Amino acid sequence: MIAALAKGAAVLGDASLVAAASRAASHILETHRAEDGSLLHCLRGEQAPVPAMADDYAFFTWGLIELYEATFSSSYLRAAMELTEAFIASFWDDTSGSFYSTRAGETGDLLFRRRELLDGAVPSANSAAMMNLLRLGRMTGRTDLEDKARRVAGALPGELSEHPAACAWALAGILAAREAPCEIVLAGTPGSALMERLLNAARKFYLPNAVILGAGPRGSDWDLAGLAPGAEKYRDDAGDAAVHVCAGFSCKRPVSTPEEVSDLLTGLGKNKTPES
């Protein structure tokens, strides 16, 4: 739901949607974290907390990524990275190249640790994690995360051939992995009038596999220090706003007007959102 609200806010420009998404994410981050930083599945009154499962990590991280792209608040990107590291440490199976559904040592009365690869009414944890790893890897320059995303894709051939209709989100992830990366970085002063116009121009284009980041001055909400070195180098402490686009391993010259943004992105996406 956080992901849906954040995506809706970015597309529609509805501040009430991003406010709702932010409140929900903040509540979970404040109340559903254990002392070691791991995620909790639920917490009610004085009852003992239940450790999160793979679905919890994958879906909440998905929501944090969408919320970051809707707000460019680096705190959400940082939280997504922290939870991803915890998720990998507790759920990753290096032999199969996929994620278990439960943490190590938590099988209880079960005979073995299960892993879910097929998408059902909602994507599986592995499908959601594959897309998360791919997006976070491209945002932060962490090629090891992209490598893990491709390993998850490599664990799916049997399911893809036998049950393709039950692998919809997995297929979306595989297509995203095969597409050349595209990063859009808005660098400058957060909230300035020019920055808002540039951002609105960029969001009119439907580029589902592109990642978008905001790089602001040190100490600002958009500060990417320690998170995304490749994007942070574009930040401009002087406050000038510019859009940097790298697609297909080639970076274009920076542009600083909405018209230039539209011209630059026209060649990257055939379709714009309905608002455009």
- Residue spans per domain, the chain: 2-178, 182-266
Fold of 182-266: Glutaredoxin (3.40.30)
Token couple for 154: 């490599």
pLDDT attached to residue 234: 85
Query: What does the pLDDT average to over 14-24?
Result: 97
Predicted confidence band at 238 (pLDDT cuts at 50, 70, 90)?
low
Per residue in 47-100, pLDDT tens? Answer: 668 889 999 999 999 999 999 999 999 999 999 999 999 999 999 999 999 999
* Cα distance between residue 220 and residue 140, in whole Å: 18
The DSSP secondary structure of 143-178, one letter per residue, reads HHHHHHHHHHHHT-HHHHHH-GGG-HHHHHHHHHHH
Q: What architecture (CATH level 2) is domain 2-178?
A: Alpha/alpha barrel (1.50)
pTM for this predicted structure: 0.91
Query: Mind listing the pLDDT tens digit for each residue in 161-173?
Result: 888 888 899 999 9
Residue 126 scores a pLDDT above 90: yes
Residues 6+ apart with CB under 8 A from 77: 64, 65, 68, 139, 140, 224, 227, 228
